[in-house]
Amino acid sequence: MSSRNQIAPPADFAIRLTEIGQRFRLIQDRPDTLREAFTKLFRRRDEYQVFDALKNVSFEIGRGEVVGIIGRNGSGKSTLLKVIAGIYEPTQGVVETRGAIAAMIELGTGFHPELTGRENIAINGMLLGHSMREVREFEPRVIEFAELGDFIDSPVKQYSSGMYLRLAFAIATEIHPDILLIDEIFAVGDAAFQRKCVQRMNEITRDNKTVVFVAHNNEAMRKLCSRVLLINAGEVIDDGPPGQVVQHYEEMVLPPASLNQV
């Protein structure tokens, strides 16, 4: 049983998760023929492998917090962001969010590949509740931040992963969301662009907006976050000050000899 509530002021939090579970049913083998595929539709449920990506996850994030999420690959970090964003409906538990959400979770999500960068700015802006007049007002700022030059009028299917990222981040942060969800912003893009992203995130939080991001960059976690969550095998096993939680994570994943050098 799950539910999602968009709550109104005067709540003092941006995000609250209560006993969230996210379960997936995995097919073990691929059908080789159409007949096999049809037969598999009627297989008993217990013939599928069940995978619990999130288990009994509960926490609150206040307005204006910058919260990092760290953990090994496959630990449930991206799944957690998707649950908060509403991309996944949790198998159990309650998700409560306050305010407009902008999410950068999968590269290129929300972009139409055949349309230009400029056209995708307009579509995304209107989907997030802005009028065409408002879109035209912030469009030049998005273009300037993304640094795409003449490519802004090229179909986005021609963009590199870095170009996708710059445009997506510029749009997501220009619309002034109450909650910004970001997955692996430091995995793509050069150092100069990453510095711009950090500056923009700081601007957002000064406006009392909330940022939740996943990254494997531990130094960024220490510098940017007011708090870090450590996830392991779908469970939050630590939640606290960045230095403390990052150290816990490093002790989990690094050999003892490496820790002396960190």
Quick: pLDDT tens for 182-233: 887 666 567 788 788 888 888 888 888 899 999 888 888 888 899 999 999 9
Q: Which is more confident, 151 or 35? A: 151
| Mean predicted lDDT score pLDDT of the chain | 84
Decide if pLDDT at 122 tops 60.
yes
The sign of the torsion formed by the CA atoms of 100, 137, 121, 209 equals: negative
Q: Say how far apart CA 141 and CA 189 lie, in whole Å.
A: 19
Output the pLDDT for position 40.
Answer: 61
Output the pLDDT for position 38.
Answer: 58
**Which region among 1-15, 38-52, 124-138, 169-183 has the lowest average model confidence (pLDDT)?**
1-15
Tens-place pLDDT, residues 36-46:
665 666 555 55
Q: Give the closest residue to 61 by CA, choosing from 260, 229, 252, 253.
A: 229
Domain assignments of the chain as residue spans, ordered by start: 112-176
Burial of 59: CB neighbours in 10 Å, binned 0-12, 13-18, 19+: middle
Decide if pLDDT at 126 tops 90.
no
Q: 213 near 186, Cβ under 8 Å?
A: no
Average pLDDT estimate for 19-28: 85
